[in-house]
Amino acid sequence: MHQGKARPSPEQHMTRYWLEKTWVQNAILVSLAAFAIYYCGWVFDFGYEFKWSMLFTRNETYGVVMGAEILKGLANTVRISLISSVLALFLGTVLGLARLSLFRPLRATATSIIEFFRNTPLLIQLFFWYFAFPAILPENVREVLFSGQFEFWCATMGLSIYTASFMAEVIRAGLQSIPKGLLEAAYSSGLSYFQVLRTIILPLAFRAIIPPLGSEFLNNMKNSSLAMVVGVAELTWQAQQVESLTFKGFEATSAATVLYLSLSLIISFILNGVNGRMRLDTTPARSVPVLVVGALLAPFGLIRRLFVRPVTRALRARRRAAAQTTYTPLAAMLHQLGGHAARAAILAGKGLFLAVLAGLFYSVGKGLLGFKWQVVFDNLRALLIWHFPNGRPDEMFLGLGGLSYSLLMAVIAISVSFFIGLAVGVGRSCSNRVFRIPCLLYIELIRGNPLIIVIFWVYFFIPVMFGTTLNVFWSATWALTAFTGAYIAEIVRTGIQNVPAGQIEAAYSTGLTYLQAMRKIVLPQALKQMIPAIVGQFIAIFKDTSLAFVLGVLELTFVAQGINNRLMIHPMEIYGTVAFFYFICCYSMSVFAARLERRLSPEKVSLRM
């Protein structure tokens, strides 16, 4: 018995009884949707004249259909996403394997590459590849680069390397998940390292990492929106171009939003089908994604059956016949020479790698000695704090800017978004559709779009809807907050799902309501598992503050771009310094997150291959 605890009244029992009915929940949702449509369509005055026909009709001033121009941007987005995804998968696999190498210089090099590119914003990397990298090349090489589609390939390669640094860690985790005994059995059967890698390690690893790898493909597609900053006419760039030509930003950005959501759904659909076909625990489910992916892969399967398998069988029969022949001294000598040649090739490869690495260190050292350090020192204060504390009257926070501004934006965004994500995550985990479906819509709408689109929505259209003006700092900060809240909501949902269901059932049996069980039983346990992921999200949002550059917020990237535009001849010094600042901050936080994760999850197994 629960002494002193207020018992629910009959009215509360009746309300709970009816709210648990599915048809009641659906009726409430339909009523809320109808009210929202009625209010927005006939009551609320947006102070804006909608003209959706501009997307489908020919513009007489410019002689084009604006919707067709946006679709051209979509085509470029798809091109960048496909090419960069393939390159990132290849580079990520190479880096992931190198991270597990027993050759320490190779392992250290791969780790350094991964950590550097993971812990610097993609926007800074694109600026580096576009402005600074050509400056260190010979004049004839620059002319060759600029004669082609330099902007497109600069964005594609920059995006590939950035995504590969994340894929490498996913692939490494998949490789480490393979039982050590399986590898030892493969080696004991006489297979070489590359045979084991091709036939056992990579197939099993990729089966295990399809879901997290799919998230990286989605992020890669959304990150392609940043190609606009180096002049690539992708989807976001075209939408903003249409807005500048027609002053119909709501329609243009809405079209871009729908297209990004459609791409996200298509990619998720395909990845679900691939995951369903490659699952290890069960036979492939006959779901729609699995059937569609099966139909898409059918031609490749036919080619494999008609051409690849016969060749494979012939080669296998040839090897079997060779193995059954008499083992002559000449064959033994050739086999021994082959082994010596392979070992010599490995040693030569290691020596070549060390030589290339030494040359790279020499070039970097020479470049650092040639740095115009005075340029860095002259602008260091502006990069760190801008004009603080002697700012102009129109500047916020006494003229604060630069790195300090970025940190301030990140702290505000992560602090407020934690409570948003907590509430939305709890609602997303609720069985009641009245709470679950609106929370799900919020999460998917935000997560299905690039952050830069969310920033444009907040900056351009929230003031129109509410009749107020937002400073660019607060516009970017609220956009970051809403964006981060959706991701934290998924972290909260995952933490709640990891709590054993028996504890929740026991809480209900004692008479606790859903919210009471969440507050007293579930969330305290889930929070322990959520902390490392939340710290990781803080790192991500700190890097994402660089996107406030598009609104002119005086954060680190915008200040660096302004200094570079003023000096024009020192992009390596400016962007190198900015990348260093971001790396130090992000890497320090990532080390803290890793230590926190090891402390909260001590059972970790490390595997070397």
**26-40 confidence digits (pLDDT tens):** 898 899 999 988 887
- Same domain assignment for residues 449 and 539: yes
| pLDDT at residue number 145 | 86
User: Closest Cα partner for 423 from 432, 415, 435, 433?
Assistant: 435
| SS3 at position 577 | helix
Would you state the pLDDT for residue 606?
47
Is there a domain that residue 51 lies in? no
Q: Return the residue matching tokens 């091709």.
A: 198
Same domain, 87 and 215: yes
Residues 308 and 232 in one domain: no
CB neighbours of 353 closer than 8 A, spacing ≥ 6?
Answer: 103, 105, 106
For residue 521, CA distances in Å to 4, 251, 514, 518 come to 20, 46, 10, 6
The answer to whether residue 10 sits within a structural domain is no
- 72 within domain boundaries: yes
Q: What is the pLDDT of residues 283-294, one digit of tens each?
A: 555 677 777 777
**Residue 395 included in any domain:** yes
- Domain assignment present for residue 37? The answer is no
Task: Give the DSSP letter string of 290-332.
Answer: HHHHHHHHHHHHHHIIIIIHHHHHHHHHHHHHHHHS---HHHH
Whether the Cβ atoms of residue 211 and residue 170 lie closer than 8 Å to each other: no
**Pair 110, 169 in one domain:** yes
| Whether 407 and 394 share a structural domain | yes
379 burial level (CB within 10 Å; 0-12, 13-18, 19+) = buried
Q: What is the pLDDT of residue 9?
A: 62
- Say how far apart CA 53 and CA 251 lie, in whole Å: 9
How far is Cα of residue 442 from the mean position of the Cα atoms in its chain? 19
Assess if residue 219 is contained within a domain.
yes
Q: Are residues 236 and 304 in the same domain?
A: no
**Among 262, 282, 302, which residue terminates a domain?**
282
- Residue 286: predicted pLDDT: 67
Residues 305 and 379 in one domain: no
pLDDT reported for residue 17: 64
302 and 278, same domain (yes or no): no
Q: What are phi and psi of 59, to 5 degrees?
A: -80, 120
Domain count for the chain: 3
Query: Do 298 and 278 reside in the same domain of the chain?
Result: no
User: Domain range holding 469?
Assistant: 372-609
**Residue 135, both tokens:** 């400056």
Write out residues in the chain with pLDDT < 50, as ranges: 1-4, 602-609
Given 231, 260, 282, which residue is the final one in a domain? Answer: 282
Same domain, 202 and 151: yes
Say which CATH number the domain at 215 has.
Answer: 1.10.3720.10
Q: State whether 522 and 599 are in the same domain.
A: yes
pLDDT at residue 52 in the model: 87
Segment 437-456, tens digit of pLDDT: 999 999 999 999 999 999 99
| 214 and 290, same domain (yes or no) | no
Position 326 in a domain: no
CA separation for the pair 236, 317 (Å, rounded): 55
Residue 550 lies in a domain: yes
The span from the CA of 265 to the CA of 478, in Å, is 26
Cβ atoms 545, 473 nearer than 8 A: no
Residues of the chain with pLDDT > 70: what percent?
A: 92
